[in-house]
Amino acid sequence: MNTEVSGNPCGVCGEIRPEMFKHWFDGYIKLYRCLQCGFIAQYPGPGINTIQTDYEDAYSLDFVENGSEFMYPERSDAFQDIVNRICKIKSGGKILDIGCGDGHFLYLCSKKGFDCSGVDHSKALTSFATQKTGAEIIQGLYDLEMFPENHFDIITLIQVLEHIPEPAKALEIAKYHLKSDGLLVIEVPSIHAPHFLLYEWTGIKKFVKPPTGVIVSHCGYYSPKSLTTLTRKCGFNQLSVTTGRWQFKYSGTLGIIGKMIDPLLNLTRVGGILYFGTISI
Ligand SMILES: [Zn+2]
């Protein structure tokens, strides 16, 4: 029994019994696994006590001075893959990217004719993204008052959900803003990525050192199962869950290897998660 997490329900499934939280990581932060859904979150349990990062004054535009068009140019192929997958389901319409950052993803969406909107907490990135995409980008923390009900055809959270302390609340707001036939797209890092699995099997913490492992700015660590549990609880039906996508993570020879092993990563549910869902009827 773990009395330290008493009173803090799992942010995904709502489990509250202390004995259902198993200690998973003890370092500069503490993480616990919910035995009910597999969600792993910060000490002392996800919710009101979760350590949060304030992004309002975060990020600089140094990448512009360094001659880069966007902050993470190496992510371009992964973003384009998501755009292409959306285009197979929706040929156009209004898209909202929550936590849109520098607008890289929305920039690619606008090239395909989508009517783009974004929300981001960083003042610097909001200003940059507005200028870069010409889209409506709101600076602030995503909330219900920002947009009308039934407004968007597509809502995306790309590498964002893991930074949100109350993920269920965010998805319930997204459901309110989505049209009844709307599409929800989520990309998150996976707790079943190889380095996390190696830590789990060996207990060696160096496998999960920052910046790719356990980091304070991540409020929760998802598996395909816990992400499906969360989205279902928030009223979404899963269309697809793709894991791996290493072909978009690397370039050159590693990209070719990624393309070869992606089917295996997807089959074994290893590596980053891309979720597509619609509103349950
Ligand atoms: Zn849970």
Asked if the bond preceding 211 is cis, omega within 30° of 0, the reply is yes
pLDDT tens digits for range 158-167 = 999 999 988 9
pLDDT tens digits for range 76-89 = 999 999 999 999 99
**Number of domains observed in the structure of the chain:** 1
Q: Is residue 39 part of a domain?
A: no
pLDDT tens digits for range 40-96 = 998 655 555 566 778 887 888 888 888 888 989 999 999 999 999 999 999 999 999
The pLDDT of residue 30 is above 80:
yes
d(CA 116, CA 248): 23
pLDDT tens digits for range 115-135 = 999 999 999 999 999 999 999
Q: Is residue 158 part of a domain?
A: yes
The pLDDT of residue 4 is above 60:
no
The pLDDT of residue 2 is above 50:
no
Q: Is residue 5 part of a domain?
A: no
Distance from Cα 187 to the centre of ligand 1, integer Å: 19
Q: Which of 151, 136, 126, 114 is nearest to 59 (CA)?
A: 126
Q: Is residue 106 part of a domain?
A: yes
Distance from Cα 229 to the centre of ligand 1, integer Å: 8
Distance from Cα 15 to the centre of ligand 1, integer Å: 5
Distance from Cα 233 to the centre of ligand 1, integer Å: 11
Q: Is 59 helix (H, G, I), strand (E, B) or coil?
A: coil
Q: Is residue 63 part of a domain?
A: yes
**Global pTM?**
0.93
CA distances from 212 to 193, 199, 207, 215, 280 (A): 10, 13, 9, 8, 34
Domain that holds residue 255: 52-188+222-279
Q: Is residue 193 part of a domain?
A: no
Q: Which of 8, 21, 13 is nearest to 50 (CA)?
A: 8
Q: Is residue 159 part of a domain?
A: yes
Residues pairing with 237 in the sheet: 278
Distance from Cα 155 to the centre of ligand 1, integer Å: 24
Distance from Cα 40 to the centre of ligand 1, integer Å: 8
Mean pLDDT (whole number) for 253-273? 95
Q: Is residue 258 part of a domain?
A: yes
We report the CATH number of the domain holding residue 236 as 3.40.50.150
